[in-house]
Amino acid sequence: MLESYDPRAVEREAQDFWVGRRSFEVGEDAGKPKYYCLSMFPYPSGKLHMGHVRNYTIGDVLTRYYRMRGYNVLQPMGWDAFGLPAENAAMANKVPPAKWTYDNIAYMKAQLKSLGFALDWTRELATCRPEYYKWNQWLFTRLFKKGLAYKKTGVVNWDPVDQTVLANEQVIEGRGWRTGAVVEKREIPMYFFRITHYAEDLLATLDKLPGWPEQVKLMQKNWIGKSEGVRIGFECGKEILWVFTTRADTLMGATFCAVAAEHPLAVQAAQKNPELKKFVEECRKGAVMEAELAQVEKKGMPTGLHVTHPLSGEKLPIWVANYVLMGYGEGALMAVPAHDERDLEFAHKYNLPVKQVVQHPPGDPTAHGTLINSGKYDGLGYPQAVDAIAADLAKKGLGEKQVQWRLRDWGISRQRYWGTPIPIVHCAACGDVPVPDEQLPVLLPEDVVPDGTGNPLNKRASYVDTKCPSCGKPAKRETDTMDTFVDSSWYFARFACPGQDKSMVDERARYWMPVDQYIGGIEHAILHLLYSRFFTRAMRDEGLLPGMAEPFTNLLTQGMVLAESYYRDVGSRREWINPADVSIEKDSKGKIISAKTRDGRDVVYDGIGTMSKSKNNGVDPQALIDQYGADTARFYTMFASPPTNTLEWSDESVDGSYRFLRKVWDFAYKFSRASCAASADRKIRYQIHLELKKANDDIERQKFNTVASACMKILNALEELPEWDETSREGLSILLRLLSPIAPHVTHHLWRELKFGEDVMRAPWPDPDPAALEQDEIELVVQVNGKLRGSIRVPKAADRAAIEGLAMANPNVQKFVAGQNVKKVVVVPGRLVNLVV
């Protein structure tokens, strides 16, 4: 065997071996338990980033581990290939999005292969291929016929200069990213998926997902946002203003009503009131983003209209307020300033009355309590008050209990080219007609270069002009495409069915689904995961996935990979400098005091955040692979932190990972030339098996950083052996197997070189030997008043009295208890003794 570690040669050799044996291609096998391990597929942005390396290494470690544990493991890979960046690249480089995307896929596929992931490439898919998106279209037509897909108007960001719809990320501080024009809200017709049909089930089933992080389940629960309340009608002349509230108990404290600027009452009132019209129009300026809306200063204007309080008969003014959202509830609310912080802020600003009606604990006006100043309802608690008030309202026909959801239906229309065409034909006579199955897929032309002014499909007569599938007369094709979240909502099921062109999925999906382990970034905790859960239900009800509701049994949400970012302002333009090109100076506390580029110009430190193209702070993993090899890149990303933590990038510590793999090689090299004694070393063997026991626990709880450090500890222990013996051989074979899921290439090579077997991946996973873990004596820590004062060795079977005696006899312990009364002795078996004086 070679004396020194050459990652390049070792990795090529191992990868050739796997390809030659088709090691990762799997089929259905009734003889083994199946394990479907899936990492979120990448958007083909150009090259892999650190988040990908981390994500796919986590999946690969699990895949290789479960294979060695005897499971039939599927780990596929594909491309989330539709999306906005391809159109942006097209505008910048005058290249069709299709070509740009396919080129990126080719490059990134080579990168993934160089990292040695155990992927079944025979199942590769790209969502921009007709054979994939055909089934988006097919399912859309099914849902459309059932009413689960439907058309209504939705609000979008409109750039008045480019005459185009903007994505939220294309709106910067309320202005269009290319034109700088103030963005307006515009209502346009769109298609929606009726995800709210499944709201109750999506919420209730969260409790049956023990393999999901509590954090994610809680976020989804809050997002779905079931609230039980009362719908209350306020008479306004001949009309009724309906509001929804979860605090009907505070109805007697309502001092005004507020409606959204888009509310029909506001629009109507604005027609006769130029000042109000101006205000309503002002509310239409700016982006649709909720985060932005929530932070704008609360503003309002009276409509001049009044409503009648349904119980007191009092006249209350109606205001238009920019903090009322048209999309939630009725787009209107009753304001109770005394018991709602936002209403209070608004009331103070505009001098509106505040009337306390609930006796609340001091300092918490929004807490439930007993009613006061509420006439006949005085003295009631929250539930009784709500019941009584709802009943009285019901008698007048002005209220009823209602369940309200925060979850909205999913708008899937995008006024963009690079996505799945929505399979609808608009016919003057027949209306919106879904494209029949035999005419699917509606093909997206691939030779288009968008220019940023609207959807280029609109300008293609050959695409738009068609015949109505229903009556055969000339008609227009829908030019909107689907949200790319549609593509990623079912790809996991499609991976089970390569080559299937007769149906969306087939019976093979019943073998592989659900995904046993899904791995991806925490940033997908809500939308992607919720949409996938919705799709699985919709497909189930279409007969495609019988009996299945939940697509992902276990979910691992990896933390984001963060890096520092730096910029400098050049005129009005902000230039972002890659951290690799910045040298920094830190003070003794580690705070950055100055940052300069290589040529000595000052740059501004902008803090730490997600690696992103816009801040140019990405670290290219390719440089890491080129310099150290794939095994080091994999080992480092596992060792650096547990998968669920954020990972703050530092290239300084990569060296240590490389050094460790080299040490493994050096040890194996020396072993290959040594002759071993037949004896074993009890003490070192104990250490190795103890580390193995902990490492096996850590793999099960997905803490791969401590598995990596267990490998280091085992090697450190082996190096302490006074001579080559059976413990060296056993320890090395354990080390190579334990390390193989993380660093598969070097362990593959050494396993064969040392004649442990032909293929480490097919070796059984090591389990600790109980005999090696047996000990006659154990060490106990002795504390006095909770402070460490010494330690004692006691026989394993020692009783309490013997332990107390030994603890008291310890000289250092004596120093602290001498002459004092020992009031209490706490003995924690196997751990410690605490003497309280």
Partner RNA sequence: GCGAAGGUGGCGGAAUUGGCAGACGCACCAGACUUAGGAUCUGACGCCGCAAGGCAUGAGGGUUCGAGUCCCUCCCUUCGCACCA
Q: Interface residues for RNA in 803-822 (CB under 7 A)?
A: 812, 815
CB nearer RNA, residue 24 or residue 483? 483
Closest CA relative to residue 125, chosen from 18, 24, 44 = 44
Stretch that binds RNA, among 375-383, 453-461, 566-574, 776-784 (CB under 7 A): 776-784
Q: Which of 481, 532, 617, 783 binds RNA (CB under 7 A)?
A: 783
Distance CA 175, CA 185 (A): 12
Asked if 755 interacts with RNA (CB under 7 A), we say no
CB nearer RNA, residue 394 or residue 826? 826
Closest CA relative to residue 10, chosen from 747, 734, 656, 637 = 747
Which residue type, as a one-letter code, is found at position 15? Q
Show contacts with RNA in window 658-697 (CB under 7 A): 659-660, 662-663, 694, 697
Show contacts with RNA in window 537-566 (CB under 7 A): 560, 562
Show contacts with RNA in window 271-290 (CB under 7 A): 288-290
Stretch that binds RNA, among 109-117, 271-279, 329-337, 778-786 (CB under 7 A): 778-786
CB of 608 to RNA, least distance (A): 6
Closest CA relative to residue 417, chosen from 460, 388, 378, 374 = 460
Asked if 297 interacts with RNA (CB under 7 A), we say no
Which residue type, as a one-letter code, is found at position 482? M
Distance CA 486, CA 419 (A): 10
Beta strands in 237-375 (DSSP E): 239-245, 256-259, 300-308, 315-321, 332-335, 358-359, 370-371
CB nearer RNA, residue 135 or residue 639? 639
CB nearer RNA, residue 314 or residue 697? 697
Show contacts with RNA in window 80-109 (CB under 7 A): 80, 82-85
CB of 485 to RNA, least distance (A): 7
Which residue type, as a one-letter code, is found at position 790? G
Asked if 517 interacts with RNA (CB under 7 A), we say no
Show contacts with RNA in window 301-320 (CB under 7 A): none
CB of 322 to RNA, least distance (A): 13
Asked if 294 interacts with RNA (CB under 7 A), we say yes
Asked if 707 interacts with RNA (CB under 7 A), we say no
Distance CA 50, CA 47 (A): 10
Show contacts with RNA in window 646-665 (CB under 7 A): 646-648, 650, 652-653, 655-657, 659-660, 662-663
Phi then psi for 295, rounded to 5 degrees? Answer: -105, -10
DSSP label at residue 445: P
Asked if 589 interacts with RNA (CB under 7 A), we say yes
Distance CA 116, CA 490 (A): 26
Show contacts with RNA in window 150-169 (CB under 7 A): 154, 156-157, 165-169
Q: Which of 411, 445, 452, 757 binds RNA (CB under 7 A)?
A: 411
Closest CA relative to residue 18, chosen from 744, 776, 818, 823 = 744
Q: How many residues bind RNA (CB under 7 A)?
A: 105
Distance CA 825, CA 643 (A): 41
Asked if 640 interacts with RNA (CB under 7 A), we say yes
CB of 55 to RNA, least distance (A): 11
Pairing relation of β-strands 413-414 and 647-648? unpaired
Distance CA 6, CA 112 (A): 20
Stretch that binds RNA, among 91-99, 520-528, 575-583, 736-744 (CB under 7 A): 520-528
Distance CA 461, CA 134 (A): 22
Asked if 3 interacts with RNA (CB under 7 A), we say no
Asked if 712 interacts with RNA (CB under 7 A), we say yes
Asked if 407 interacts with RNA (CB under 7 A), we say yes
Asked if 399 interacts with RNA (CB under 7 A), we say no
Phi then psi for 346, rounded to 5 degrees? Answer: -65, -45
Asked if 348 interacts with RNA (CB under 7 A), we say no
Show contacts with RNA in window 222-241 (CB under 7 A): 222-223, 225
Phi then psi for 212, rounded to 5 degrees? Answer: -105, 145
Q: For residue 432, list its beta bridge partners.
A: 426
Distance CA 825, CA 837 (A): 9
Q: For residues 23 and 54, is the Cβ–Cβ distance under 8 A?
A: no
Distance CA 442, CA 477 (A): 10
Q: For residue 234, list its beta bridge partners.
A: 241
Q: Which of 33, 546, 607, 764 binds RNA (CB under 7 A)?
A: 607
CB of 588 to RNA, least distance (A): 7
